[in-house]
Chains A and B, each alone.
Chain A
């Protein structure tokens, strides 16, 4: 029978309760001595905060990715798929009527919306899918918010013959119905997630639970520059092509670098993709646009830099919208792809270093920008990308006519037609 009894006469002290093994008293971990030089760190942000079961597979993924990066055949195959399957390079389009209407800076649009599957997400999906093939795995899982990453994942899985399971919050399934059907048509299984706010964050939780269970056979094709190392670095590298192309294209068209680059930031994959090759060009202002939602109170928006604090969510240390007890806050945005309480760790570092600035655009501003871009240029942007467009509407009129701005149109609006119809009063 039990020997532990309540109010036992021989009251144990802490020293008695804890066995002391002197040889286990080693401090810390040698690699942790200077966290800023660890791989996967961006300043103090990033890292690898996951249950132990996932540590080995993350180490394996990091090794495989490092090998693939130096493998010319891998790179050639990826380049070829990006060109012949995804439709790269994407055009850099001069938006003449929008420029005229705003009367200031010359506005160029980077047309990621023209890619196969309708958004930049395919860049990363093709890259990771080729890695899955290298690692000899056959089952792929993913999370999706707006459904664009889910569709891109389902697409590459069909292309390479992998089993595909996509986790999606049921609230997002409702607002992105069309993408749910597209994924199923492509042969993927879409699993609805009922927990929490039933959006992107909850879909990631469920994907992580699947991964921790099926880690030996399954690759988690994470869709943004989030999560544990190596994801933020690897996903950024697969999207770097956006900025690389844009830099060459603008130099060719204008003979100079742009004054500003504007992109929306959910997790931050399209923005880091277009920013990255301009980071060294100190005169180019980098502007990330977060979801300002419908108000400034916690829960009404997804602007992490307007009320978030550094913390750990889903594997990485970055700015997180949270309450005073460290519980993660709910978020709101009209755009499912920006509706997430944390932000890629590299963005946190760029912001702290003052290299990039981050501003919010509200639901209403994004919807208004959608209509304006549709009517001036004949381009219906995704509601995510519309946040970037909303920011250029504020900035361009105040800039000189000789200035050049690039806006990343990360995706097209087809998937959002239902929401636009609900929210826009169009006769």
Chain B
């Protein structure tokens, strides 16, 4: 049995920053467990630029961003194990992992969940038709092209206009494919404007909003897809069908936090985020188990992942030293997300643990123009900020300051809401 003060599950951007946070906060005995042959996680396959503007004030590619953190890990001498798959975590923070050296058993003082997320597969969409070769999630295709250096096809349709789908449309164009169209169910794209312009418009790739794929055709190889316009209830409109020949269909239809291990440790998950229900310290309902990055909630910018995860690392360090108040007594103020706000992270705040402020992250359920984001303490409106635009694709933030709690002693709920 190995004894580790802070064990970190996953060596992607979240795990790396969490390890750095824990070490900076004074914990020597930190260990990162990574299933791949290298650190950096999914960033290694995100070879496009656009990372790190907040953190490093310059625009990096995914591998460059990862390398900055890996260098810090090396400089700080933080230990990590590669090619190591965690198989189980218990609620008393015992970890079982496997690698070619054997089975590892670790007793951890604190555990930081940093496993990231996975893509929603075809089955989740239940698209009728054949089951040919040539249908992949965008991230799988990204692996094939960016890591292995091989093409899955030459004529491509992308379903879903999330950023990975947009980025892959451009990538496949560079590598010799013809991208026929990007199909989006919603009347707006979930991707960044910059990606729509620089990944689609630059190459004349049409973006079909309010459309979906209604049938997959061909066997054994994909021969084409039927695409149709949808009505306001997202149901295909008969008569609008169009057949697009293609040998590859990429799905970019959402990400799901990868919480199978969290479940084994009895961590309570939110139906909305798919991630753990955490308090202001990013601690789950299981004391000493923390969660950060995309396994907690899907982020749009890696910079926010790093920032959040570093805090998780610091908090885990404090927990190991017994420096913070337990959440056992349920002393937290509950955060409520209403009227267009889908969720908040954290879900509760214990004012006694707030040093100066808490960044509350949230997402909205639709596109809102010229509205106000308000924060209520109990029934009292404490904050009201005008926002020209709010979109589901962008993570938003409100800042809850220590002094607000002083102003409303005994407050039970804080509500984040959208108003006229």
State yes or no: do A and B come from one complex. Answer: no
